[in-house]
Amino acid sequence: MPSDHFTEARAPRERITSLFRRRETGIYGEAPYVEEWKPLPPRLHDLVEVTRDTVAAPRYAIGVREVTNGELGRDGAPDEPATEVDLAEARAHAGSVGARLPTEDEWQVAAEAGLLERAEPLVWNWTESEHADGRTRFAILKGGSAWQAEGSDWYVDGGPRDPRYSLKLLLPGGGLGRSPRIGFRLAVDLEP
């Protein structure tokens, strides 16, 4: 794990604000529309700001760029982000090189500070932030992707996104979380 691939970052604040598109599965807590068959806008698909306590190491280093195909020894352009890796595989690779995935807050703080580079094609980034709402497991993705579906508010958001933007991705398990639109970067804890 070459040190020139990492940059030091700090969590400078105790609270952080993220931006979500409201979906029928809610944001972090319980799914809000369990008893309602099809809630419609404006209660869905609007952008919602969520302010919460920061979940970030006080001092950490984060990968300047995503892990590449070349680093994973995969087919494809060696300098492009490695994709088709589910959350468990991304975590396993990180652990094998003495690292971990960044939390959603660490990713956001580093991106807002201008510390992250985005390789082409742009892909969403897995974060270590996995949650459950009592019905489903989900992870938070950051960054946006080059690909953007058009034609309906029901499609997953794409395109480059503001560092505050978070995408809640349901985790189906069984390797079904792999996507050509999702990559990952690494993080390591530093001594305080």
Show me where the domains of the chain are located.
3-189
Torsion of CA 91, 95, 98, 102, to 10 degrees: 20
Token couple for 21: 């598109």
Does residue 137 have a pLDDT over 90? no
pTM of the model as a whole: 0.87
Cβ contact 155:129 at 8 Å: no
More confident residue, 50 or 97: 97
Q: pLDDT digit string (tens) for 56-71?
A: 778 899 999 999 999 9
Q: Count the neighbouring beta carbons within 10 Å of the beta carbon of residue 47.
A: 10
Q: Write the pLDDT tens digit of every residue in 139-175.
A: 999 999 998 888 777 778 888 999 999 998 888 877 7
In the chain, pLDDT over 70 holds for what percent of residues?
86
Beta strands 144-145 and 159-160: pairing type?
antiparallel
What is the model's pLDDT at position 2?
47
Q: Which residue, among 25, 49, 24, has the nearest Cα to 38 in the 3D structure? A: 24
Mean pLDDT of 123-150: 89
